Amino acid sequence: MFDLANLALLGPWLVLSLGIMATMLVSSIRIETRLPAKIVTIITLVLVMITSIGLFSEGTKTVLNGYIEISKLSCMTLFFMSGISLMFVVGSGGYLNKEKIHISDYYNLLLLMVFGASILVSAKDLFVMFIALEVMSLPAYALVGFRRNDSRSNEAAIKYFILGGALGAIFLMGTSFIFGASGSTQLAQIFEWSKGYNGDLLLFVVGHLLVLFAFLFKVAAAPFHFWKPDVYEGAPVSVTGLMATVITTAAFVVLVRLFHLVDFQSTTFAPYLESLKQLIRVVAVMSLVGGSTVLILQKNLKRMLAYSSINHTGYLLLGLLGTLSKPDQIYSIWFYLAGYSIITCGLFLMLSQSTTTNDQGLELVDLTGLMKKNPYFATVLSIFFLSMVGMPFTVGFFTKYTVFMSSISAGEVGFVVIAAICAVIGAYGYLRPIALMVMRDPDPSSASFVGTKFNQAMIIILAALCIILGIFPQALIQLTKGLELIP
């Protein structure tokens, strides 16, 4: 079981563990010394990216008694998540200094969170998933409360912790139900079981729904979204960004896995598929309508982006709806997650450039007249907002396009119409900051934005990606088409 070849297959996770231990060591020597921790984190993340790319050609394998899957999907997600984390690590040093929370522990917790997420996306067992979920969430709770002098931050951490804990318990309960019904917690075995199963569905369905609810909570689909605006607003900007990208990506990958938990080809589960589709439709429409209509009423940029992410969850669920009928459309979800993460990462790195401390100055009015005051900042910010709208020649256009096509190919035209209307409503919300930036004169009291060199470099890379992928999306689409979901 435990030979050297298997050890090599665990490369990314081993690297991450070593990195976590190293940062812990560094922070135990002197907590204020952050540079060594930062360097260690950067090296770790780069190594994770390299090793996960190395595993990409390995094909599909399971290790550790089938608990962990090494597949193109998990490797690519891991590569992508560590890449985004790297961007945040490199780009948010200035912000952390400004908020006076730049300590080694930040990097330690960050790596721990990535570690949890990395196990989560490759877990093939419900229990492993639960542990990974907690490993990912616990550092996230701490990171949300990292601005410990601000009551909003503390409040957000507590809220997130309580609700996350409750939903973790619900997940565990669902797992026990599924175990009771199928006799296993391993995904592959549950899938096998479902093929031949011929009995009562009640126990399994209850368990499955509980498990799904827990992850719908993590991706903040309505009606499990209540935590998100409050947490987004309270958390430090860089942490909010990490949550919106890394945690959302990991949670959604797992959500897709959980939706495909059983073989819907079998006659026993065919009626369940129809009900499940109904469920997704309701949740997607609630997320779309709720996200977009409340989005346009927000005055705080972070809250606005929270509702925006709820709205985007709705689009992702729309893509998921398509994949339940047309499994080959699953690439639309991966493509959407990648594009959305790039845009969001850029936006949050942008917001972290605000010169005001204590996360003030992130109200919508603070952008007034920015085009005259700081044309560079306003232009790049506009690119990201336009990507959010889904403007052609930005990556946002193709992300929306692929999920819409996925749903249409599954015959869900009515829901695509609803989604398109919500996209119009959302567009108002994203265009309003642009209008404020471009069409008003600057207000002397509004915040100004100064970025560090590293921060600006990361942002330029991301903005360029937004536009390049908006014009030549084919490479990324081809890549995501290779990412199959293995039951």
Partner 1 sequence: MSILLIVLFPLIGFLINGIRYIISTKKGTKISSQQSGMIATFAMVLSFLVSVYYYFQFNGQSNEVKLIDQNLFSWIKIGAFHLDFALRLDPLSLLFSLIITGVGSLIHLYSIGYMKEDASPAKYFSYLNLFCFMMLNLVLGSSMPHVFLGWEGVGLASYLLIGYWNLDVEKVMAGQKAFVMNRIGDLGFLIAMFVAYKYVGSLDLIEIQKSTMSPFVVTVFTGLVFFACTGKSAQIPLFTWLPDAMAGPTPVSALIHAATMVTSGVYLLNRISPLLIQAPQVLSVIAIVGVTTAFIAAIIACAQKDIKKILAYSTISQLGFMFLACGVGAFDAGVFHVMTHAFFKALMFLGAGSVIHALHEEQNIFKMGGLSKKLPITTITFVVGWAAILGIPPFSGFFSKDEIIIESLNSPYGNQVLFAMALLTALLTAFYMTRLLVLVFFSPSRMDKDVEEHVHESPLVMTFPLIVLAVLSLIGGFWHHSEGAHENSQMIMITSVAVAILSAGFSFYRYRKFDSEEQTNNFIENGLGINNFYNNFFGKGVTIVSKGLFRWIEAGIIQNGLKFCTWAVEFSGNVLKSFQVGSVQVYLMMMVLLGLSLMIWVLQGVMHGVLIYGK
How far the first Cα of the chain sits from its last, in Å, is 23
Parallel, antiparallel or unpaired: strands 61-63 and 68-70: antiparallel
Write the CB contacts of 27 (distance below 8 Å, at least 6 apart in sequence). 33, 37, 103, 104, 105, 107, 108
Among the residue ranges 128-136, 223-231, 366-374, 430-438, the one whose residues contact partner 1 (CB under 8 A): 223-231
Write the CB contacts of 106 (distance below 8 Å, at least 6 apart in sequence). 34, 37, 96, 143, 146
Task: Name which of 188 and 425 has its Cβ closer to partner 1.
Answer: 425
Q: Does 24 bind partner 1 (CB under 8 A)?
A: no
Minimum separation from the CB atom of position 201 to partner 1 (A): 6
Percentage helix, strand, coil for the chain under 3-state DSSP, each rounded to 5: 75, 5, 20
- Among positions 187-216, residues that touch partner 1 (CB under 8 A) are 201-202, 205-206, 209-210, 213
Q: Does 460 bind partner 1 (CB under 8 A)?
A: no
- Among positions 80-139, residues that touch partner 1 (CB under 8 A) are none
Write the CB contacts of 162 (distance below 8 Å, at least 6 apart in sequence). none
By C-alpha distance, which of 208, 242, 228 is closest to 156?
Answer: 228
Minimum separation from the CB atom of position 283 to partner 1 (A): 8
Among 180, 183, 223, 414, binds partner 1 (CB under 8 A): 223
Q: What is d(CA 106, CA 93) in angstroms, rounded to the nearest whole number?
A: 11
Q: Does 169 bind partner 1 (CB under 8 A)?
A: no
* Residue 137, token pair as written in the block: 């969430």
Contact indicator for 327, 273 with CB cutoff of 8 Å: no
> Residues 404, 477, 91, CA angle at the centre, nearest 5°?
100
* Residue 207, token pair as written in the block: 């368990």
Task: Name which of 8 and 417 has its Cβ closer to partner 1.
Answer: 417
- Strand locations in 236-391, DSSP E? none
Q: Does 296 bind partner 1 (CB under 8 A)?
A: yes
Q: Does 171 bind partner 1 (CB under 8 A)?
A: no
Binding mask 232-271 for partner 1 (x = CB under 8 A): -----------------------------------xx-xx
Q: Does 219 bind partner 1 (CB under 8 A)?
A: no
Among 25, 64, 163, 457, binds partner 1 (CB under 8 A): 163
Task: Name which of 29 and 417 has its Cβ closer to partner 1.
Answer: 417
Minimum separation from the CB atom of position 220 to partner 1 (A): 11
Binding site for partner 1 (CB under 8 A): 158-159, 162-163, 166-167, 201-202, 205-206, 209-210, 213, 217, 223-224, 226-227, 229-230, 267-268, 270-272, 274-276, 278-279, 282-283, 289-290, 293-297, 425
